[in-house]
Chain A
Amino acid sequence: MVSPILELTNINKSFGHVHANKNINLKINKGTIHGIIGENGAGKSTLMSIVFGLYQANSGTIKVNGKKINLRSPKDSIINGIGMVHQHFMLVENFTVLENIILGFEGELVFGKNLEKAKKDLKDLCDTYKLNIDLNSTISDLSVGFRQRVEILKSLYRGAEILILDEPTGVLTPQEVDELFKILRSLKEEGKTIVLITHKLIEIMDLTSEVSVMRQGEMVGHTKTENTNKEQLAEMMVGRSVLLRLDKSEVKAGEVLFSVKNLTVKDDLDVTRVKNVNLEIRSGEILGLAGVTGNGQTELLEALSGIRKVESGEIYLEGKKVSDSQNFLDPRELKDKGLAHVPEDRQRMGLVTDFKAYENLIFGYHDQQPFSKSSVLNHRDIISHSKKIMEEYDVRPQSPNLITSNFSGGNQQKIILSRELNENPKVLLVGQPTRGVDIGAIEFIHQRLIDMRDRGAAILLVSVELDEVLSLSDRIVVMFDGKIVGEKENKNVTDRELGLLMAGVV
């Protein structure tokens, strides 16, 4: 019998009315990779924030190596050998790797002896775990994958025996994910304990030896990974059985509804982000646009939807030119012509989070009949319309008068989708439709997009989730450094091939 290195007993945590963690019990064995899986809002991050000392539990005990400890701040956790790599890295961009790691642990006023020792220790750590980091490079020069390694190194240097990783793969390419998993395995071999928080089933199956499932603030199951499978885990997460594979009919592509010729777009800093891009999307077809975040997808979507000015090139809707560098239709005019847009970042662009739900459900269509008559909003019609589409799209809770920021991410996304799809657009531009959305809602959203396609809409799907692009698209193009670097029919194409294109290797 192995004694657990970390043991949580009856942990409770509430935020006001929300019971984020209910009587959580968890045992993590030394030298294992332990997965914690659950939908967004299941309470995984809250639980780990308690373990890392960022939040204090309302009740319950935490034991490390059998000894009860009191965690009042991250400092206490570090002393007890707990380290955490956050979803968003906590690094000073213009410092070097070395400076970032010793930040807060400088130990002396004028750098000298301690710094030399730190350098040596860090080099040893890098060698042991094959981290391959140059201590003198500046953070802003490093790729996302390397920044993550710096975070890992930082925790190790501070003596972490237990390393918590919060959704570590969200921002990585498939190749970077492979590298990360290699590092995590070698950490395990050296006797470190790793806690992996994720909502991706495939990572759990690949990497972990034990897995705990959370749902709505409760721990709903612990199991050895070898004794379970994806379907079973998904069912535990959602509380009902989930369709992991989409039922999709054969593509029946019609005439070209939307096309882009030699499009070049600059960002706000006057940097060319989209370089001479050509695209064609047919009726009844989903074109997937894959790529690592920041390779021009955002600017492309903004240009196509009329938000951003085109530098050169043309955009055609149903064969008619709608935009070039001289004349362009604004988002409103494009909407009238049957182009709908689900933006990548729902809170920054798709919604006014301080608005009530019904106000967001007419956003962009608020000046049309029957919502607005001679500039006066028709409250009754808006509310009845809102109720209808909230029911149809299963937005929960079904209260049009609730402020939008009180809805969960998935339901906010459904508000946007229901608004845009309800207009029955001919062309639909969708950016990251399921980012931060839980499994149950992902299934629903994907089904809606397929329905739209089957009704003859032309859909451009921009997503950093390769699985999503692969399962939805009929054709896939890959964008790298502002250019389209590859186009594939979605048959027999693998995520490896796409990954190489995304990384700009091929």
Chain B
Amino acid sequence: MSESPADFETGRYLYCVALDDEGTSLSTTGLDDEPVRVVREAGLVAVVHDCTSLYDSDSATQIQRWILTHQSVVDDAGEAFGTPLPFQFDTIVRGDDEALRSWLSDEAETLTDHLDALAGRWEYRIEIVWDEAAAREELEEADDELRDLAERREEASEGTQFLLNKQYESRLDQLVSEQRRAEAADLADRLSGEVTDLVDLGERSTVGLDIGGADEDVDVLARFSVLATDDEQEAVGLLLDDVAADPGIEVRFTGPWPPYTFTPELGGGDAPDEV
């Protein structure tokens, strides 16, 4: 029987899976105030609520509320059971508790391996904002080729001036971008030495929701996600103090978050191509 993805009668919305800690319970509410509970199997707990449909909305406010709730349930689970394996929003296991237990049991080894590797570690986000305008100015003064172009531009006719200007801007953009990449790579190097794992998220924010108060016009030098123990997190904090000592640099350091960036794909082996 083949069903479409949105077609089911009984399902379990899955927030996260964690290593079971016998005697530990979890009392919290989930999306749309659904009561959250744990399903136990094979030394694991799945944190779920019962549901019969996908969570779907075109309202940014609604999505935002769901995401915050999803996150807070995973947080509560993390506090109760230690670092969880957080699932993507709207991950729903088809069927009842029995179906969920049988999935947990099938995947027990993989899940346990991943959870063991993540134990005692959390995800932290680091965003480095720099003063790009100041960097541009410095490069304009320091680069011989730019100074030469600027001089020639002064004396040139209007048409040539236009061309020289283009050359100038393109050279400057290239230098700025080279510098940004070099500084980001250097930071990544230094941070990598302190943490369990690091992912370079690139300089562009991927936030897709229009959330109020986002400062749009900052020049991001680099964004990283790191997986760290408490000790590693402290070391990162010290390193970032050092980075932030530069007056042109601002650092955002957030966490601890569930290790969303460091979770595996489970089951299925190779990702299937288009159907």
Partners in one complex: no
- Please give the residue numbers on chain A whose beta carbons come within 8 Å of chain B beta carbons, in ascending order: none
